[in-house]
């Protein structure tokens, strides 16, 4: 599966720091993020409120995907800008929503 995603230098640094992945591994990882991650329009509850607050803070992240307790922020040209942690109080919700999405797909 080929995904047309580019990476900002900042995103590469954040992924290396937070996930321990180099650029080549990130290219493979992003395929899973896009296919299995929970998109903004699929989010619910406080997790969606938090994602909305990220969007309105800078207003440059039109595409938000939650995957494995991380929030991936993309710009409108499909460039990964950065990743951030899901806040600790929302981890349970993020895990449940991702599990529900995987069940729905299978």
51 with 43: CB under 8 angstroms?
yes
Average model confidence (pLDDT) across the chain: 89
Residues 72-100: pLDDT tens digits? 999 888 999 999 999 999 999 999 999 88
pTM attached to this predicted model:
0.89
First to last CA, the chain: 18
| All residues at 6 or more sequence positions from 53 whose CB lies less than 8 Å from its CB, including other chains | none
**32 with 104: CB under 8 angstroms?**
no
Looking at residues 53-60, what average pLDDT do you find?
Answer: 77
Checking if the pLDDT of 105 tops 70, the result is no
- Decide if 55 contacts 36 (C-beta within 8 A): no
3-class secondary structure, 81: strand
């Amino acid at each position: 599966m080929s995904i047309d995603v580019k990476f900002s230098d900042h995103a590469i640094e954040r992924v290396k720091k937070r996930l321990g992945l180099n650029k080549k591994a990130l290219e493979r990882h992003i395929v899973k993020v896009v296919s299995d991650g929970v998109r903004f329009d699929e989010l619910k509850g406080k997790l969606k409120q938090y994602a909305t607050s990220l969007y309105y803070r800078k207003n440059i992240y039109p595409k938000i995907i939650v995957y494995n307790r991380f929030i991936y922020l993309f710009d409108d040209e499909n460039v990964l800008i950065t990743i951030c942690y899901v806040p600790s109080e929302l981890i349970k919700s993020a895990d449940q929503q991702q599990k529900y999405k995987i069940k729905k797909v299978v």
